[in-house]
Structure 1
């Protein structure tokens, strides 16, 4: 006998259908090691489903101007903005973890946005990518972002794209994968993801841009510096477990 995946999960956990669908849509539900992607997809009612826990959301630093959050994967930046009551200074994709900044007053927000625009903000990411990256690489390719139906997808476009510069440095190699440090000089939507995919080293879990299926997109915002502030987020457990 079969039923929709979210209904099977709701019965197993004794939760509402709405809550069950939300867990699947977040990417937190698995059959064995395989992620359940379609909440309305039909599965055998006897299928044992597993729900991945979301790590606790921690405050890294807070003062009268800024709130720095250690964002876990599977929570959106917009949810954090809504819950905190402060405005986002930038965004991280749902499955990207790490330093997320929110601002507490309009004057500071305007100054910080200008610093981002002028490239005066240091942004350092870690990622696990497919293949062996042998040496430091600078990717200077313009990016065009197309938004449709509330979703965004970016691509390289020489005619319509905006300037985008990413410096990628290999740090470790494990089997057929490389851990890299990525420094972005600009802040285009999905910039690191698109640039790494273009050089044939897509991020693990980034199926939107050709990456291998994984528990999550293996991208982490490790460090941000601006106006004398310096915020860091330690690598999540799944980055260490890969080793």
Structure 2
């Protein structure tokens, strides 16, 4: 017998159907070693689910002008923004990307900070785990075009219509056919790192849109580790998902 995934999950976890659907939509539910992605998809009634707990939002730093938080994976930027509605969002991260997120606490600082971002004077460093052996520093300067369809954004390299985008990749560790890398971006286009790495032949593990799905991970293994703006420097520790692979 078969039934919809969210209904079976609701029964197993003793939660409402809407809560079960929310957990699946966030990417927190797995069965048989695979992430459940379609809440209304039909699966066997005896399916056993595992549900990952959503991490808390932690404050990295706060003063009168700026708030730096540690964004957990599985939360959208809009959800985060709703929780800090009195402040002004300065940067966005994809739902499954974790790490440093910034808010201005007053309009004067917001204007100055936005200018820094627009003029590419903000240092943005990410860590990613990818398929393939990255052994050399790589600079990729390929314009990116983002298209939104029914509220869903997807990007691609488009030399004619895309906006300028530059990413610099630094090798950190290699284990088998996987690499841990540092990525520094000058610009901040939608899905920039994911698109650039896929173009280079180094798809990010866990990226179901541009990259490589892996049964051992639930999410895109991309983390915003360090951000520097003005005299501030903020760092977020790598989450435990990055320890799935044994890099020495």
TM-score, with normalisation over the residues of structure 1? 0.97
For residues 57 and 242 of structure 1, the distance between their equivalents in structure 2, rounded to whole angstroms, comes to: 25
The size of the alignment, in residue pairs, is 243
| Number of the residue aligned with 1:225 | 228
Question: Relative to structure 2, which stretch is displaced further, 114-123 or 202-211?
Answer: 202-211
Q: CA deviation at 1:23?
A: 0.2
Structure 1 position 239 matched with structure 2 position 235: no
Q: Deviations over 1:158-212 (max 9, x none)?
A: 1011110000011001121000000001111111000000000010011211423
- SS in structure 2 at match of 1:155: strand
- SS in structure 2 at match of 1:112: helix
Q: Deviations over 1:29-87 (max 9, x none)?
A: 01132111110001111111110112221100111111111111101111111012222
Q: Which runs of 5+ in 1 are unaligned?
A: none
For residues 192 and 35 of structure 1, the distance between their equivalents in structure 2, rounded to whole angstroms, comes to: 23
| Number of the residue aligned with 1:75 | 75
For residues 238 and 128 of structure 1, the distance between their equivalents in structure 2, rounded to whole angstroms, comes to: 10
Q: CA deviation at 1:150?
A: 0.7
- SS in structure 2 at match of 1:224: strand
Question: Relative to structure 2, which stretch is displaced further, 115-124 or 46-55?
Answer: 46-55
For residues 205 and 7 of structure 1, the distance between their equivalents in structure 2, rounded to whole angstroms, comes to: 26
For residues 36 and 91 of structure 1, the distance between their equivalents in structure 2, rounded to whole angstroms, comes to: 25
| Number of the residue aligned with 2:153 | 152
| Number of the residue aligned with 2:5 | 5
For residues 239 and 208 of structure 1, the distance between their equivalents in structure 2, rounded to whole angstroms, comes to: 19
For residues 32 and 61 of structure 1, the distance between their equivalents in structure 2, rounded to whole angstroms, comes to: 40
Structure 1 ranges of 4+ moved more than 4 A: none
Q: CA deviation at 1:104?
A: 1.3
Q: Deviations over 1:83-114 (max 9, x none)?
A: 12222111000000100111211111111111
Q: CA RMSD in A?
A: 1.0
For residues 92 and 28 of structure 1, the distance between their equivalents in structure 2, rounded to whole angstroms, comes to: 18
Q: Pick the aligned partner of 1:215 from 187, 206, 218.
A: 218
Whether the 8 Å CA contact 2:206–2:219 is kept in 1: the answer is yes
| Number of the residue aligned with 1:37 | 37
| Number of the residue aligned with 2:105 | 104
For residues 44 and 21 of structure 2, the distance between their equivalents in structure 1, rounded to whole angstroms, comes to: 16
Q: Deviations over 1:88-146 (max 9, x none)?
A: 11100000010011121111111111100111100000000111012000001011111
| Number of the residue aligned with 2:170 | 169
TM-score, with normalisation over the residues of structure 2? 0.95
- Give runs of aligned pairs for residues 59-74 of structure 1, distance below 5 A: 59-74=59-74
Q: Which runs of 5+ in 2 are unaligned?
A: none
